[in-house]
């Protein structure tokens, strides 16, 4: 059965100098309102023991605009400022529900510069987008088309550390599930090979079922180190240091973009060709505490791959099963189910008492598949 989902389409755009100036002012006002509202909420809870709701923060914003010091808040669109307060309300809701840490202040240098516009603050006509306070439409690079007849409900404009401008259009899209297939696959994550599948797949894995790890961060490590050395030599606060910082950011952006593109193609292939995908519940946050492997684990980006598999299987009518992190997938013989006493990381192949010779990762993938299907 087809289902309607909310899906964001992200594009690059090239603002005019006037648009760039207006958006920069809006970003600064959004950050200021968020931080000031957070400060007021913290003060009220610390000194008075009471919680401040969104309605109170919105009323306070109206009063801030009437003061001489903050009158400039009225010069930008009010919608992104209200959305900042809604985001803060959601952050506190997650905190009190113990789903997240206490909200943090936004930094001009470290936080993402962004502003969110709802339908009352933008105009969409014939594939062209006008934002509030702007006379000309955004010059968007349409790298892929929007769904036929789709109209954005929310528009988010952002600028990354590399100086690139992006606009994200949230639309409702009807997605038809894929036709059912009989194939099932177990997935074991690793570092030498990014993934090991319980069975080989033509064009995706080698003959053992292993997906090569592209190691994008390692491939650009020399370029990144050179850019960082150049940055370190620049005087703090100088224009040359700002340029050098953008060069470093561009290298990071290249690494991130290539990695995300690879993970999207990999996850889509797994979802399209398998009715059931079984993965292991890895605690990446704990694993990166190993300083010897933290860089390689971060480069592998297992958590992002899992996130992609979660929403793509949900969209396309597939099934994603997650095996408990304590399941001994590497120590269990997939042929006779005998559990070995120990299995050090340096042991890549081993022979069971039943005579079966196992590749460590392939055996783990087969066990993960069997365990996931058994726990349905």
Task: Give the pLDDT of the chain (376 residues) as one tens digit per residue.
Answer: 788 899 999 999 999 999 999 999 999 999 999 999 999 999 998 998 888 999 999 999 999 999 999 999 999 999 999 999 999 999 999 999 999 999 999 998 888 899 999 999 999 998 899 999 999 999 999 999 999 888 999 999 999 999 999 999 999 999 999 999 999 999 999 999 999 999 999 999 899 999 999 999 999 999 999 999 999 999 999 999 999 999 999 999 999 999 999 999 999 999 999 999 999 998 888 888 888 889 999 999 999 999 999 999 999 999 999 999 899 998 899 889 888 888 888 888 988 888 889 999 999 999 999 999 998 7
pLDDT of residue 373: 93
Best CA proximity match to 57, nearest among 20, 15, 23, 85: 85
Shared-domain flag, residues 245 and 339: yes
Both 290 and 144 in one domain: the answer is: no
Looking at residue 301, its pLDDT comes to 94
| Catalytic residue from among 22, 217, 299, 361 | 361
Q: 239 and 309: one domain?
A: yes
E strands, the chain, in order: 3-13, 113-118, 122-125, 128-131, 140-141, 154-159, 165-175, 184-189, 193-197, 210-212, 276-280, 319-323, 349-351, 357-359
Specify whether 14 is located in the same domain as 42.
yes
Catalytic residue, chosen from 280, 310, 324, 359, is 280
Does 122 lie in the same domain as 155? yes
Residues near 107 by beta carbon (within 8 Å), at least 6 away in sequence: none
224, 313: one domain: yes
| Catalytically annotated residue among 22, 116, 188, 299 | 188
Say yes or no: 161 and 194 in one domain. no
Look at the alpha carbons of 137, 141, 145, 147 in this order and tell me if their dihedral is positive or negative.
negative
pTM reported for the whole predicted model? 0.90
The pLDDT, as a whole number, for residue 2 is 81
Task: Give 73-140 as a DSSP string.
Answer: GGGS-HHHHHHHHHHHHHHHHHHHTTSS----PPPTTTS-EEEEEEGGGEEEETTEEEETT-SS---E
Distance CA 193, CA 96 (A): 40
- Tens digit of each residue's pLDDT (9 = 90 or more) over 47-93: 988 889 999 999 999 999 999 999 999 999 999 999 999 999 999 99
Based on the domain organization, do 116 and 249 belong to the same domain? no
Model pLDDT, residue 242 = 93
DSSP code at position 332:
B
196 and 171 in a common domain: no
Told to judge if 361 belongs to the known catalytic residues of this protein, a careful annotator would answer yes
Measured CA angle at 268 (ends 264, 273), to 5 deg: 155
188 is catalytic: yes
Strand arrangement of the beta sheet that strand 276-280 belongs to: 210-212, 193-197, 184-189, 276-280, 319-323
What does the chain come to in residues?
Answer: 376
Cβ(11)–Cβ(142) under 8 Å?
yes
Residue 188 CA: distances (Å) to CA of 199, 270, 333: 11, 13, 15
Looking at the structure of the chain, the number of domains it has is 2
**Is residue 245 located within the same domain as residue 164?**
no
Q: In terms of residue numbers, what domain contains 330? A: 184-374
Distance, in Å, from the CA atom of 193 to the CA atom of 267, rounded to the nearest integer, reads 15
Among 122, 149, 175, which residue terminates a domain?
175
Q: Which of 175, 197, 213 is the last residue of a domain?
A: 175
Cβ(205)–Cβ(211) below 8 Å: yes
Are 140 and 166 in contact, with CB atoms under 8 Å apart?
no
- Is 280 among the residues known to form the active site? yes
Pair (191, 92) in one structural domain: no
């Amino acid at each position: 059965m087809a289902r309607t989902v909310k899906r964001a389409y992200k594009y690059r755009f090239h603002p005019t100098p006037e648009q760039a100036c207006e958006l920069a002012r809006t970003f600064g006002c959004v950050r200021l309102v968020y931080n000031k509202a957070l400060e007021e909420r913290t003060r009220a809870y610390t000194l008075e023991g009471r919680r401040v709701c969104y309605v109170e923060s919105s009323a306070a914003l109206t009063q801030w605009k009437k003061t001489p010091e903050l009158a400039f808040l009225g010069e930008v669109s009010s919608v992104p400022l209200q959305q900042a307060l809604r985001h803060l309300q959601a952050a506190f809701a997650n905190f009190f529900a113990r789903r997240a840490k206490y909200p943090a202040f936004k930094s001009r240098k470290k936080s993402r510069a962004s502003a969110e516009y709802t339908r009352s603050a933008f105009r969409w006509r014939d594939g062209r987008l006008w934002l509030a306070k702007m006379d000309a439409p955004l010059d968007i690079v349409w790298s892929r088309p929007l769904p036929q007849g789709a109209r954005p409900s929310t528009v988010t404009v952002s600028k990354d550390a590399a100086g690139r401008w992006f606009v994200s259009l949230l639309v409702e899209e009807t997605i038809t599930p894929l036709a059912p297939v009989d194939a099932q696959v177990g997935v074991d994550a690793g570092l030498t090979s990014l993934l090991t599948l319980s069975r080989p797949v033509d064009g995706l894995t080698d003959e053992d079922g292993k997906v090569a790890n592209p190691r994008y961060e390692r491939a650009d490590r020399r370029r990144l180190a050179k850019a960082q050395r150049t940055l370190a030599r620049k005087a703090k606060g100088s224009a040359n240091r700002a340029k050098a910082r953008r060069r470093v950011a561009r290298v990071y952006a290249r690494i991130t973009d290539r990695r995300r593109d690879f993970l999207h193609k990999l996850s889509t292939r797994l979802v399209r060709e398998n009715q059931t995908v079984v993965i292991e519940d890895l605690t990446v946050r704990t694993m990166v505490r190993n300083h010897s492997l933290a860089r390689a684990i971060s480069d592998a980006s297992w958590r992002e791959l899992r996130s992609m598999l979660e929403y793509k299987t949900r969209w396309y009518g597939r099934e994603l099963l997650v095996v408990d992190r304590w399941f001994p997938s590497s120590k269990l013989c997939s042929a006779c189910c005998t559990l070995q006493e120990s299995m050090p990381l340096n042991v890549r192949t081993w022979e069971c008492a039943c005579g079966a010779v196992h590749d460590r990762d392939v055996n783990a993938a087969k066990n993960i598949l069997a365990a996931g299907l058994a726990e349905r």
